[in-house]
Every structure is written in structure tokens, then in C-alpha cells.
């Protein structure tokens, strides 16, 4: 006879699953609200099969199936692991509605950052698929032969100064009011040739990219190979 916390034959418990079973045994898992519909929806939204999601969360497919059908309630450790697996938060797993993000970014708001002599101000809200920055490019910082190549799109608009933009084998000189919109798979780099540098608005679709991954500053002067 199998005890309530013992795995049936063929179901090896991973660390996360073992923690969940222990919590269920001592009663701590039963206090959480039912999350079965959310778990199933988030897995399908992520395009994962039951087996693939279970492997990422270090659970057995049978255990994840019981969670998705409401036959077992997840413990907090399991919720944390599943939230990481689906790229979300425990709050979303529990069906909580987050407060609406403020759509306004006020002038003079704190948060300027500097990298390799370049200055950045956030010009849009976090957690969006499209990110916006206001950037000051110091004179002469074209990063030598540093060329960026990566998936996505970029758009820039020159506010002040003159901007030199290299796209593939072509060089453009942009004046205030000029803009550029290009595929980031095109090798590219920018610099400011005039005194005082240049200031621009910069929008990209690279949600997880660091500053060093863009066409902007902060990075060693070397040729970056295209990502496969």
C-alpha cells in the first residue's frame, strides 16, 4: 500500500516536487486558493506540453497533471518554481489582478544611468514589449569598430546635435528632426561627430536586452558576431 506522500512507481520526485509533497503533508499547501485553471492556461500560453513543462519545473508529468486538474494544491515552493517556468509571478498564478501601470513618465523623473560615457533616461513604462529611452551620446563615441547585430527592431529620433548612423555598408548623417527605423539584424552602430554630442529618442523591441546589447554605448570595442 502506498502512503499519501509516497510517489507511485515510475514517478521520481525532483527537489521542487519533494518540497511540495512535504508541504501538502503538513497542511501548508491546502491554504492556497485553487490555481488549476491558471496553471493550465499559462502552460498552453507558453506553448509547452505537459511533459516539457514538468521537466522545466522539475516535477513528474503526473504530479503537474494533478495540479492542473485541481486534485492537488501546490505549496509555495511549487508556486515559485512554476512561476519561473512560465515567466510570470505568483500573483498571476493565483489569479490576482495587478494594479494598472502609470502610463505617464514625467520630465525630470529620477533614474538617469550612465554607461561608457553615454547617459540614458527611461522614457517608457517597464515590462512592455517595446522599450523607450532618451539617450545622450557624447562626441566621438562611435565605439570604434563595435557593430551590433541581433533580432528585433530599433527606431531613433534626433532631438539635438548631429548623429552618425552606420547601417550595413552605408553611413548616414542625421540632423535634429531626422529619424531612422531599421531591422536590428542589419549591422549597425552610432556616434556623435559634433561638439556637445547628440541627444535622441530611442525605441527598441528587445525587452530582455541590456544596454550593451543595443546599438548604444557600454561595451568593448570588438566585432560582435550575429546570434544564431
Q: What pLDDT is recorded for position 152? A: 79
Q: What pLDDT is recorded for position 181? A: 95
Question: What global pTM score does this model have?
Answer: 0.51
The per-residue pLDDT string of the chain (228 residues; one tens digit each, 9 = 90 and over) reads 444 433 433 344 444 444 444 444 333 344 444 688 888 888 888 888 999 999 988 899 999 999 888 888 887 778 888 888 887 777 777 777 666 677 888 887 777 888 777 888 888 876 666 788 899 999 875 444 456 777 778 999 999 999 999 999 999 999 999 999 999 889 988 999 999 999 999 998 764 445 555 555 544 333 333 333
CB count within 10 Å of CB 216 equals 25
Residue 87 burial (C-beta neighbours within 10 Å; 0-12, 13-18, 19+): exposed
**Residue among 59, 78, 57 at smallest CA distance from 12:** 59
**Alpha-carbon span 148 to 184, nearest angstrom:** 8
The full DSSP string for 22-48 is HHHHHTSGGGSPP-HHHHHHHHHHTT-
CB count within 10 Å of CB 136 equals 21
**Contact present, 172 and 164 (Cβ < 8 Å):** yes
Q: What pLDDT is recorded for position 179? A: 97
β pairing state of 118-122 and 163-167: unpaired
Stretch (H or E) spanning 20: helix 15-26
Q: What pLDDT is recorded for position 144? A: 45
Enumerate residues 6+ apart whose C-beta is below 8 A from 83: 89, 90, 92, 93
Residues linked to residue 179 through DSSP beta bridges, in sequence order: 157
Amino acid at each position: 500500500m502506498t502512503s499519501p506522500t509516497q510517489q507511485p512507481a515510475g514517478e521520481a520526485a525532483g527537489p521542487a516536487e519533494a518540497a511540495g509533497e512535504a508541504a501538502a503533508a503538513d497542511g501548508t499547501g491546502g491554504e492556497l486558493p485553487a490555481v488549476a485553471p491558471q496553471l493550465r492556461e499559462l502552460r498552453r500560453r507558453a506553448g509547452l506540453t505537459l511533459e516539457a513543462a514538468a521537466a522545466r519545473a522539475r516535477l513528474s508529468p503526473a504530479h503537474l497533471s494533478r495540479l492542473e486538474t485541481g486534485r492537488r494544491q501546490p505549496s509555495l515552493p511549487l508556486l515559485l518554481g512554476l512561476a519561473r517556468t512560465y515567466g510570470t509571478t505568483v500573483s498571476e498564478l493565483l489569479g490576482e489582478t495587478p494594479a494598472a501601470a502609470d502610463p505617464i513618465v514625467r520630465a525630470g523623473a529620477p533614474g538617469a544611468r550612465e554607461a561608457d560615457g553615454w547617459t540614458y533616461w527611461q522614457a517608457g513604462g517597464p515590462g512592455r514589449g517595446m522599450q523607450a529611452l532618451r539617450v545622450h551620446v557624447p562626441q566621438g563615441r562611435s565605439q570604434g569598430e563595435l557593430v551590433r547585430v541581433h533580432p528585433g527592431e530599433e527606431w531613433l529620433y534626433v532631438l539635438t546635435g548631429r548623429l552618425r548612423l552606420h547601417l550595413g555598408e552605408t553611413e548616414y548623417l542625421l540632423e535634429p528632426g531626422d529619424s531612422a527605423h531599421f531591422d536590428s539584424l542589419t549591422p549597425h552602430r552610432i556616434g556623435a561627430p559634433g561638439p556637445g554630442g547628440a541627444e535622441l529618442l530611442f525605441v527598441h523591441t528587445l525587452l530582455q536586452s541590456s544596454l550593451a546589447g543595443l546599438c548604444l554605448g557600454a561595451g568593448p570595442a570588438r566585432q560582435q558576431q550575429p546570434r544564431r
